[in-house]
A and B are shown apart, each in its own frame.
Chain A
């Protein structure tokens, strides 16, 4: 590349975070720090039944015995867990029946993000359970879903209204002892979404939640639980943008998915949290535990993620393929620019017979970004005819970034077919030349090539989401390269 082109790329790389703003809303927060008292207060504020508080305390006591893990390929300053505010809720929120009752400041925030609730409600048929900091403020389309017997509600409501389902499934995929951050989440989670699709029901619309981190110094601890009963189908969307902050914010969410016989869950994420400025200052720490269990025969769980934000992304959406003929899929695009770091991938645990999994991971590193793929494919002794295909590609833009792959393949059965492929390269000079020669400038040419490179994953996103994913990519990815 010529020096002017390099300059141009640098200019674009230095673009500020477009979605950085702070909404002025009064919040109701607990003091900083973590102890049993705080946990009891969180539980009390949510008006939770006794069993939830007990579960939280069990998790907290276990958490005290755990050490923060340091094996991932990321570097970050020490987190002081006593400096974090574990609960923060927008004030003045009585039960809302329609959008008119929502704080207009909030609505404006969503409009700035281009996700106006009204517009979505009318045009896209998406039911939005918008999470602003930690409390759900608006729930739409609830009625039409209720008619089908679908439960789509904030976690805190579900705890009260459907305690049996919560008791049965909470922690059954990610137990409270699972790992340091999942355990912390189990102790202090504020809210999240709960979805239950009854037997044989195909959810008629894409369910969607927006997570936003708003109040400064608030760790956001979401908890999502989705259950697809026999023969059910649901597509769930999760998307995030966060305003600009200087201090690092910790986000440790837990997502649990459960599919029973012949059920299917499609979980899509677009994550564009504040990645820190161009010198690597600030940004979100995104340490998330996501796991799905294909409990029933012929069930399927599919994860799609577009990770463009966060200073540090550290997550491995996984599938436990218990049922015979169950299928797990993982499609991922992870972009690291400036000083962002990502250590992400998946785990496919094959337990049932004839289970299949596909992993497509596309990493893009630019600036000083460090991007790691870390994945596990495990075929247990009794899993006959397991099939896995993994492909992990990395694209390097600039000479100061890094791309790493750490795939683990643990195969314990002779009937397994496992394939893994990985490549690392930069954008081909010949491809650039070809496009330049046809009058496309380097900036657009790189954009075109990158778009082609991640097409496989974008194609997996639902239509409604793909548009926004592209919008977000154009800020953090295409903005950086052309």
Chain B
């Protein structure tokens, strides 16, 4: 590895050039936040296999490269974007190319008064008071090296603000596309979604690339769900099979709010998702579902934390893993019930299917409970295709591959069918049957 500068050194060095490139956008507030985050980034050690949180995920492949920070705009044709839209789904579209908002590609439908859908860099200019109130308020970000890196390089990302009592009827489809020729680049989308009191919205985060390039996506999404608000979130990760994808999602829920997330992961050479949901008040509901379908030498790692800090909240979690070839999967789901968080219900499930002898799954469902009037459970299973079920299908004249596809679809249906948007369900169904009946 010649001429590769140490990962941390590299980003420390590049920061000045980065901030200079922001000319004019360099407001005092954001500058302070970035500077503090850079200090945190400098102080935090890079995770190794000795850290409990990273014991199954070795990030050394990521450290082999120096990823360039993109400062100039890249262009993507509307036709390319059209390929990634869901058939027959009426939705607002916002597009980020290499982490930067692309107005040409984006298209919004009619919106209720006061709703803001756009880019974070615009929001910093136009709605600084909202950004200041909600941005980077979750302190865990300061202790995570990749989140600190994201904060230090905060520039752009999706920004959604739905004021009190407003309902955004159509889903908001956010496409993050990475496009580069031979350059290895890093994109750091920084998303901030705020649902006001009694509001409702549906968000689709969609990560794609136009080529099978090596690049690094370091995404941070912050979601604030205020009182009585309902947020439905889908993340579809279809990055290049050579890409690195490290993402953190922080959800804060106020009284009687409802948050649902479906995280579908298909791409990436190395993917690490951290999803943290925190109940700030009573009476809320949180659903975290996920599906990861990996093959080749892909590594997928998801860590979730549901923090029952307040009583009377319910959480449901269901993750399904399908692993083929030499793929490696890691599931770590933690449910924390704090003292006095009585009347908590928390259910967690993780089901995995291994299709080859070389695939590997590490699963660790954790329950930490400090209150007694609770109902909590978790279950994890690991197995292979049910040979009897397959035989049943084969004996009825269904080809081997089709039978496999049917069984895989059935296996993953628990998660897929709970996605509310029909068009996404269809998209995934099609993708699964295509993948396994080839």
- Which of B359, B372, B374 has most chain A Cβ within 10 Å? B372
When distances are taken between beta carbons in the complex, the residues of chain B under 8 Å from A425 are 374-376
When the two chains form their complex, are residues A414 and B356 in contact, meaning their CB atoms are under 8 A apart?
Answer: yes
Query: In the docked arrangement, what's the CA distance between A416 and B376, Å?
Result: 27
When the two chains form their complex, are residues B357 and A408 in contact, meaning their CB atoms are under 8 A apart?
Answer: no
When the two chains form their complex, are residues B381 and A419 in contact, meaning their CB atoms are under 8 A apart?
Answer: yes
Query: In the docked arrangement, what's the CA distance between A425 and B371, Å?
Result: 9
Across the interface, B383 reaches (CB within 8 A) one of A394, A398, A408, A417, namely: A417
User: Closest CB-CB distance, B362 to chain A, in whole Å?
Assistant: 5
Query: In the docked arrangement, what's the CA distance between A421 and B349, Å?
Result: 9
When the two chains form their complex, are residues B373 and A399 in contact, meaning their CB atoms are under 8 A apart?
Answer: yes
Interface residues in B355-382 (C-beta closer than 8 Å to A) = 355-382
The proximity string for A residues 45-71 relative to B, scoring 1 for CB distances below 8 Å and 0 otherwise, is 000000000000000000000000001
When distances are taken between beta carbons in the complex, the residues of chain B under 8 Å from A71 are 52
When the two chains form their complex, are residues A406 and B364 in contact, meaning their CB atoms are under 8 A apart?
Answer: yes
When distances are taken between beta carbons in the complex, the residues of chain A under 8 Å from B376 are 423-425
User: Closest CB-CB distance, A273 to chain B, in whole Å?
Assistant: 26
The proximity string for A residues 394-412 relative to B, scoring 1 for CB distances below 8 Å and 0 otherwise, is 1011111111111111111
Q: Is A426 an interface residue (CB 8 A)?
A: yes
When the two chains form their complex, are residues A416 and B378 in contact, meaning their CB atoms are under 8 A apart?
Answer: no
Query: In the docked arrangement, what's the CA distance between A409 and B384, Å?
Result: 15
User: Closest CB-CB distance, A385 to chain B, in whole Å?
Assistant: 10
- Which of A381, A400, A410 has most chain B Cβ within 10 Å? A410
What's the count of A-B pairs with C-beta under 8 Å?
113
- Name the residue of chain B whose CB is nearest to the CB of A426: B372
When the two chains form their complex, are residues A409 and B361 in contact, meaning their CB atoms are under 8 A apart?
Answer: yes
- Name the residue of chain B whose CB is nearest to the CB of A421: B379
Query: In the docked arrangement, what's the CA distance between A417 and B387, Å?
Result: 13
When distances are taken between beta carbons in the complex, the residues of chain B under 8 Å from A415 are 357, 384
When distances are taken between beta carbons in the complex, the residues of chain B under 8 Å from A408 are 362-364
When the two chains form their complex, are residues A411 and B361 in contact, meaning their CB atoms are under 8 A apart?
Answer: yes
Query: In the docked arrangement, what's the CA distance between A409 and B339, Å?
Result: 28
When the two chains form their complex, are residues A411 and B374 in contact, meaning their CB atoms are under 8 A apart?
Answer: no
Q: Is A281 an interface residue (CB 8 A)?
A: no
When distances are taken between beta carbons in the complex, the residues of chain B under 8 Å from A419 are 379-382
The proximity string for A residues 214-258 relative to B, scoring 1 for CB distances below 8 Å and 0 otherwise, is 000000000000000000000000000000000000000000000
Across the interface, A416 reaches (CB within 8 A) one of B354, B368, B369, namely: B354
Decide yes or no: A412 and B360 within 8 Å by CB, A396-B369, A401-B372, A426-B373 being known contacts: yes
Across the interface, B367 reaches (CB within 8 A) one of A381, A397, A418, A424, namely: A424
- Name the residue of chain B whose CB is nearest to the CB of A403: B369
Q: Is A40 an interface residue (CB 8 A)?
A: no
User: Closest CB-CB distance, B103 to chain A, in whole Å?
Assistant: 47
When the two chains form their complex, are residues A417 and B382 in contact, meaning their CB atoms are under 8 A apart?
Answer: yes
User: Closest CB-CB distance, A165 to chain B, in whole Å?
Assistant: 38
Q: Is A420 an interface residue (CB 8 A)?
A: yes
User: Closest CB-CB distance, A440 to chain B, in whole Å?
Assistant: 22
When the two chains form their complex, are residues A414 and B355 in contact, meaning their CB atoms are under 8 A apart?
Answer: yes
Decide yes or no: A420 and B362 within 8 Å by CB, A400-B339, A402-B370, A426-B372 being known contacts: no
User: Closest CB-CB distance, B65 to chain A, in whole Å?
Assistant: 29
Across the interface, A418 reaches (CB within 8 A) one of B355, B358, B366, B382, namely: B382
The proximity string for B residues 60-85 relative to A, scoring 1 for CB distances below 8 Å and 0 otherwise, is 00000000000000000000000000
When distances are taken between beta carbons in the complex, the residues of chain B under 8 Å from A451 are none
User: Closest CB-CB distance, A259 to chain B, in whole Å?
Assistant: 26
User: Closest CB-CB distance, B165 to chain A, in whole Å?
Assistant: 38
- Name the residue of chain B whose CB is nearest to the CB of A390: B380
Q: Is A93 an interface residue (CB 8 A)?
A: no
Q: Is A44 an interface residue (CB 8 A)?
A: no
Decide yes or no: A423 and B377 within 8 Å by CB, A414-B357, A416-B354 being known contacts: yes
When distances are taken between beta carbons in the complex, the residues of chain B under 8 Å from A413 are 354, 357
When the two chains form their complex, are residues B372 and A399 in contact, meaning their CB atoms are under 8 A apart?
Answer: yes
When the two chains form their complex, are residues A403 and B367 in contact, meaning their CB atoms are under 8 A apart?
Answer: yes
Query: In the docked arrangement, what's the CA distance between A404 and B364, Å?
Result: 12
Interface size range of chain B in the complex: 35 or more
Across the interface, B358 reaches (CB within 8 A) one of A381, A407, A426, namely: A381
Q: Is B91 an interface residue (CB 8 A)?
A: no
Interface size range of chain A in the complex: 20 to 34
Query: In the docked arrangement, what's the CA distance between A402 and B374, Å?
Result: 11
Query: In the docked arrangement, what's the CA distance between A400 and B373, Å?
Result: 11
What is the interface of chain B mostly: helix, strand, loop, or mixed? Answer: strand
When distances are taken between beta carbons in the complex, the residues of chain A under 8 Å from B361 are 409-411
- Name the residue of chain A whose CB is nearest to the CB of B373: A426
Q: Is B342 an interface residue (CB 8 A)?
A: yes
When the two chains form their complex, are residues A422 and B342 in contact, meaning their CB atoms are under 8 A apart?
Answer: no
When distances are taken between beta carbons in the complex, the residues of chain A under 8 Å from B377 are 421-424
When the two chains form their complex, are residues A420 and B367 in contact, meaning their CB atoms are under 8 A apart?
Answer: no
When distances are taken between beta carbons in the complex, the residues of chain A under 8 Å from B370 are 401-402
When the two chains form their complex, are residues A414 and B366 in contact, meaning their CB atoms are under 8 A apart?
Answer: no
User: Closest CB-CB distance, A365 to chain B, in whole Å?
Assistant: 8
Query: In the docked arrangement, what's the CA distance between A409 and B366, Å?
Result: 11
When the two chains form their complex, are residues B382 and A411 in contact, meaning their CB atoms are under 8 A apart?
Answer: yes
- Name the residue of chain A whose CB is nearest to the CB of B334: A406
Across the interface, B374 reaches (CB within 8 A) one of A396, A418, A420, namely: A396
Decide yes or no: A424 and B374 within 8 Å by CB, A394-B369, A417-B382 being known contacts: yes
Query: In the docked arrangement, what's the CA distance between A423 and B348, Å?
Result: 10
When the two chains form their complex, are residues B342 and A399 in contact, meaning their CB atoms are under 8 A apart?
Answer: yes
When the two chains form their complex, are residues A409 and B363 in contact, meaning their CB atoms are under 8 A apart?
Answer: yes
Interface residues in B314-367 (C-beta closer than 8 Å to A) = 339-340, 342, 352, 354-367
When distances are taken between beta carbons in the complex, the residues of chain A under 8 Å from B359 are 414
When the two chains form their complex, are residues B367 and A404 in contact, meaning their CB atoms are under 8 A apart?
Answer: yes
- Which of A405, A415, A419, A426 has most chain B Cβ within 10 Å? A405
Query: In the docked arrangement, what's the CA distance between A396 and B344, Å?
Result: 13
When distances are taken between beta carbons in the complex, the residues of chain B under 8 Å from A394 are 367, 369
- Name the residue of chain A whose CB is nearest to the CB of B370: A402
Query: In the docked arrangement, what's the CA distance between A330 and B292, Å?
Result: 32
When distances are taken between beta carbons in the complex, the residues of chain A under 8 Å from B363 are 408-409, 411, 420
When distances are taken between beta carbons in the complex, the residues of chain B under 8 Å from A404 are 366-369
The proximity string for A residues 361-404 relative to B, scoring 1 for CB distances below 8 Å and 0 otherwise, is 00000000000000000000100000000000010111111111
- Which of A396, A409, A421, A425 has most chain B Cβ within 10 Å? A409
Interface residues in B405-423 (C-beta closer than 8 Å to A) = none
Query: In the docked arrangement, what's the CA distance between A404 and B372, Å?
Result: 12
Across the interface, A422 reaches (CB within 8 A) one of B358, B360, B367, namely: B367
The proximity string for B residues 259-277 relative to A, scoring 1 for CB distances below 8 Å and 0 otherwise, is 0000000000000000000
User: Closest CB-CB distance, A371 to chain B, in whole Å?
Assistant: 10
User: Closest CB-CB distance, B384 to chain A, in whole Å?
Assistant: 5
User: Closest CB-CB distance, A70 to chain B, in whole Å?
Assistant: 12
Query: In the docked arrangement, what's the CA distance between A156 and B367, Å?
Result: 44
- Name the residue of chain A whose CB is nearest to the CB of B365: A407
Query: In the docked arrangement, what's the CA distance between A414 and B374, Å?
Result: 35
Query: In the docked arrangement, what's the CA distance between A394 and B378, Å?
Result: 12
When the two chains form their complex, are residues A410 and B362 in contact, meaning their CB atoms are under 8 A apart?
Answer: yes
- Name the residue of chain A whose CB is nearest to the CB of B358: A381
Query: In the docked arrangement, what's the CA distance between A445 and B327, Å?
Result: 51
Across the interface, A405 reaches (CB within 8 A) one of B360, B362, B365, B384, namely: B365
The proximity string for B residues 123-161 relative to A, scoring 1 for CB distances below 8 Å and 0 otherwise, is 000000000000000000000000000000000000000
Query: In the docked arrangement, what's the CA distance between A403 and B339, Å?
Result: 11
Query: In the docked arrangement, what's the CA distance between A398 and B374, Å?
Result: 11
Across the interface, B362 reaches (CB within 8 A) one of A400, A402, A409, A422, namely: A409
Across the interface, A410 reaches (CB within 8 A) one of B360, B367, B372, namely: B360
When the two chains form their complex, are residues A406 and B366 in contact, meaning their CB atoms are under 8 A apart?
Answer: yes
List the 7 closest pairs (A to B, CB-CB), nearest first.
A396-B372, A414-B354, A418-B382, A420-B380, A424-B376, A423-B377, A402-B370
Between A and B, 29 residue pairs with Cβ closer than 8 Å are A71-B52, A381-B358, A396-B374, A397-B372, A399-B372, A404-B366, A404-B368, A405-B366, A405-B378, A407-B364, A409-B361, A409-B362, A409-B382, A411-B352, A411-B354, A411-B361, A414-B354, A414-B355, A414-B357, A414-B384, A416-B384, A418-B380, A419-B379, A420-B381, A421-B379, A422-B367, A422-B379, A424-B369, A426-B373
Known: A404-B368, A420-B379, A421-B377. 7 other contacts (CB 8 A): A401-B370, A405-B367, A407-B364, A413-B357, A414-B384, A420-B363, A426-B373
